């Protein structure tokens, strides 16, 4: 079963997601409860956010898996293979970080050179549009496929995602591509999910 929980920044979606999965796991008697973290730390603000989330889930019995990208690899880190689908639940948080990590992975010198060569080959603006479209499609398909694989290996999967579509600000092209990819991913997850909840000012509102 998949439950998708969405909301804006600071809406209370993380706290609700943890409360929801803890209740479901206790009620259904799941043996293990996983927290699959996708955030990478780049600055002090990011570290403070991670520390806050750790405090939120302290003492709740989560087994933490750090998986900033390639989310299907989290499957190999799940314990008790004999209880797959019947004894495990997982909270995946969050999709905005996962999609960003997939679209903008760490680069080394060889990656930079390859990217520069690719940009030169795509100097025509029309070609660049094709490249952007292909990147958005590739990332969104990869993320949705790997989340589907993860969901097949746990009894219950709760996914936290972000509403990044309503600020009315025009961003640079790469950020707009990211927002487009998030839109595709969120729609795909909502279609896959049995339950969709939007958290508004700490209040869960059932959408599906």
The residue ranges of every structural domain in the chain are 2-172+182-202
What are the tokens at 153?
Answer: 């290996």
User: Do the annotations mark residue 57 as ligand-binding?
Assistant: yes
User: Do the annotations mark residue 66 as ligand-binding?
Assistant: yes
Tell me if residue 53 is catalytic: yes
Q: Which of 33, 53, 69, 180 is catalytic?
A: 53
Give the bridge partners for 206, in sequence order: 197
d(C-alpha 185, C-alpha 167), whole Å: 19
2-172+182-202 carries CATH number 3.40.50.300: yes
pLDDT tens per residue, the chain (208 residues)? 999 999 998 899 999 999 999 999 999 999 889 999 998 866 677 677 777 777 777 778 899 998 999 999 999 888 654 445 568 999 999 999 999 999 998 765 455 565 555 555 555 555 556 668 888 999 999 999 999 999 999 999 999 999 988 776 777 888 899 999 999 999 999 999 999 999 999 999 999 9
Give the bridge partners for 89, in sequence order: 33, 156
What are the tokens at 170?
Answer: 């025009």
| Rg of the chain on CA atoms, in Å | 18
């Amino acid at each position: 079963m998949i439950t998708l929980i969405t909301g804006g920044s600071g809406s209370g979606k993380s706290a609700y997601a943890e409360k929801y999965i803890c209740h479901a796991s206790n009620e259904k008697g799941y043996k293990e409860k996983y927290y699959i973290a996708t955030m990478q730390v780049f600055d002090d603000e990011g570290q403070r956010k991670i520390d806050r989330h750790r405090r939120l889930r302290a003492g709740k019995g989560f087994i933490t898996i750090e998986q900033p990208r390639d989310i299907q690899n989290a499957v190999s880190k799940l314990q008790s293979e004999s209880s797959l689908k019947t004894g495990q639940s997982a909270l995946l948080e969050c999709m905005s970080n996962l999609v960003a990590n997939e679209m903008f992975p760490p680069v080394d010198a060889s990656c930079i050179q390859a990217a520069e060569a690719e940009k030169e080959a795509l100097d025509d603006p029309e070609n660049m549009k094709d490249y952007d479209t292909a990147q958005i499609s590739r990332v969104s398909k990869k993320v949705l496929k790997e989340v589907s694989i993860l969901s097949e290996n746990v009894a219950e999967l709760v996914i936290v995602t972000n509403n990044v579509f309503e600020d009315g600000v025009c961003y640079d092209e790469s950020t707009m591509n990211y927002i487009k990819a998030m839109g595709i991913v969120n729609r795909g997850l909502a279609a896959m999910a049995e339950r969709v909840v939007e958290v508004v000012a700490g209040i869960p509102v059932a959408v599906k």
